[in-house]
Amino acid sequence: MSLEGKTAIMFGAGAIGKSIANSLVAEGMNLVVVSRETTDRTPSSQILVDSLGEKDGQRFTTHLADAGDFEGVGGVYAFAEKEFGHVHLVVNGSGGNRKEAVVVPDNPYELIDPSVSSEMMDANYFAKVHSIKHYVQHLKRLGKEGHVVNITSMAGLTPLSKVVDYGAAYAAAENLTKSMGAYLGQQGLGSVNNIAVGFIVGDQNRALMYNPDGSMSPRGKEILDNIADGRFLNENELGPKVAFLADRDKSSGINGCTIRVDGGFGIISLAGTSGYRD
């Protein structure tokens, strides 16, 4: 199944989103890139679309919405259906963590503001719930099938210290994907799968991975020691996996599954003392 001429909605327009967009564009897809509206800078979705340039026969556009707002997400699907008709692929890639949700000695878990915990669930779990609900309505309305790829985290498979609410939200997303894979599959509506991302050093986690002087922090070293490949991921490694799941000639039979793109994080315990890197 060629992806050429088909349309994808992509929630999230950061570094990972750029990798995914580049892979989908290379396959000939049209894109609707979604990010939140900002008042102090150009929206990240517009920056991403501008970076794609122009391709003959392909259209790239943006739509501003908060992925955690059910009605706002509905507006995304109404726009995409009006502009492109059938949406073949949805990539639920919005989300992230924030400093106020990180458990450290001066911010113990029991004192984290409940609104921060709720925000973690909205951004990382309910954003996917809202998107899938609207997408199923879209598919049933058009009598078509489609495919969902949720960008999730290894923290949803094995809890990580310091990021309790973040991990819990993605654990919920793991369960959601299994249920929705069955729900769509049994109705002939398509598939729902996850790509669980390992450790990529970015603005959100750099302070946890590295000391102010640029040397690796104890936490960064501990994480690296538990990655079989011995390195942090590059965001460009993610896009081809999304394109693979979107092309059902290549990925047929995969539904309700999680593909781990993590360099082999945690596959062997006590990796730091294994002697493998001596």
Query: Tens of pLDDT along 226-249?
Result: 899 999 999 899 999 999 999 999
In whole numbers, what is the pLDDT of the chain averaged over residues?
Answer: 93
Cα Rg, the chain, nearest whole Å: 19
Question: What pLDDT score was predicted for residue 145?
Answer: 97
34: closest CA among 80, 70, 86, 71? 80
| pLDDT band, very low/low/confident/very high, at 173 (cuts 50, 70, 90) | very high
| pLDDT band, very low/low/confident/very high, at 2 (cuts 50, 70, 90) | confident
Sign of CA dihedral 228, 229, 232, 236: negative
Q: Are 52 and 25 in contact (CB under 8 A)?
A: yes
pLDDT > 80? residue 64: yes
For the stretch 85-115, pLDDT in tens is 999 999 999 999 999 999 989 999 999 999 9
Say which residue the tokens 């949720």 belong to: 150
Q: What percent of the chain has pLDDT over 70?
A: 96
| pLDDT band, very low/low/confident/very high, at 203 (cuts 50, 70, 90) | confident
What CATH number belongs to 7-202+233-273?
A: 3.40.50.720
| pLDDT band, very low/low/confident/very high, at 1 (cuts 50, 70, 90) | low
Q: What percent of the chain has pLDDT over 90?
A: 79
